[in-house]
């Protein structure tokens, strides 16, 4: 049985285009903050909507993330 040497190509470094990623990162961060607000603070002291619809919609997520609600 003979063995043969196999040459693997050297990895080519990939440049990350920060100017293209930055707007999407900011958008994702803003959406994350909005979701965090609705899960953690809506129907509290800073309620945007009246009633308990939003609270009931995110009730289980609130407990899953450790936010007290009752």
Q: Which pLDDT does position 9 carry in this prediction?
A: 87
**Per-residue model confidence (pLDDT) at position 69:** 67
CA distance 28 to 11: 30
- Position 26 scores a pLDDT of 97
Q: Which pLDDT does position 5 carry in this prediction? A: 81
Task: State pLDDT tens for residues 39-59.
Answer: 777 666 666 777 777 777 777
Ranges assigned E (strand) in 1-70: none
**Intervals of the chain under pLDDT 70:** 1, 42-47, 69-70
pTM reported for the whole predicted model: 0.56
């Amino acid at each position: 049985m003979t063995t043969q040497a196999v040459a693997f190509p050297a990895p080519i470094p990939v440049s990350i285009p920060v100017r293209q990623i930055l707007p999407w990162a900011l958008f994702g961060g803003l959406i994350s903050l909005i979701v965090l607000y609705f899960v953690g603070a809506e129907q509290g002291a800073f309620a945007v909507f009246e009633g308990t619809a939003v609270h009931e919609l995110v009730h289980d997520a609130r407990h899953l993330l450790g936010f007290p609600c009752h």
